[in-house]
Amino acid sequence: MLECRCPQCRIGRVFTGSAYSFHKQRTNEVCAYCGLQFEIEPGYFYAAMYVSYAMSVAEVVGGGALIYFLTRSESPTLYAIALFVIIIASSPINYRYSRLILLYYLTPRLKYDSKYQDLYEQRHQD
């Protein structure tokens, strides 16, 4: 999951490009390797917003606690600026991993199938 691979074959990539680039992030429609359709039904990735929200809350709470322990500051401006930076900096990560968490853990229908990995290894042996 950390490498943003397809939940079914673990070979094909779920996203185009890298998380931090100037190109707009895109989720591939199907896995280039096993043909799995990532957006299983229309609006499927809306559910990822809830995952993303939970991740943001965790990051903001964690970031706020970290700033407090590092600086012992009580300045609201410092927290506002720092948390804003945290939210902006982590948004590409939230975008990717909220979708991956949804694909890997919250969709029981999607299962890892080792036959794809076996096929892949056979092909790359010679």
Q: Which chain residues interact with Zn ion by CB under 5 A?
A: 6, 8-9, 12, 31, 33-34, 36
Residue closer to Zn ion (CB basis): 9 or 86: 9
Q: Give the integer Cα–Cα distance in Å for 89 and 26.
A: 18
For residues 28 and 38, the answer to whether their CB atoms sit within 8 Å is: yes
Q: How far is the CB of 125 from Zn ion (least distance, A)?
A: 20
Task: For Zn ion, give the closer residue by CB, 82 or 103.
Answer: 103
Closest contact distance (angstroms) between CB of 27 and Zn ion is 13
Q: What is the DSSP string of 86-102?
A: HHHHHHHHHHHHHHHHH
Between 17 and 62, CB nearer to Zn ion: 17
Instruction: Name the token pair of 24.
Output: 């707009």
Residues contacting 45, CB < 8 A, separation 6+: 27, 39, 99, 102
14 versus 82: smaller Cβ distance to Zn ion: 14
* Phi/psi at 5 (5° precision): -95, 160
Which residues are bridge partners to 16 per DSSP? 26
Min. distance of Cβ 116 from Zn ion in angstroms? 6
**Minimal distance in Å, beta carbon 33 to Zn ion?**
5
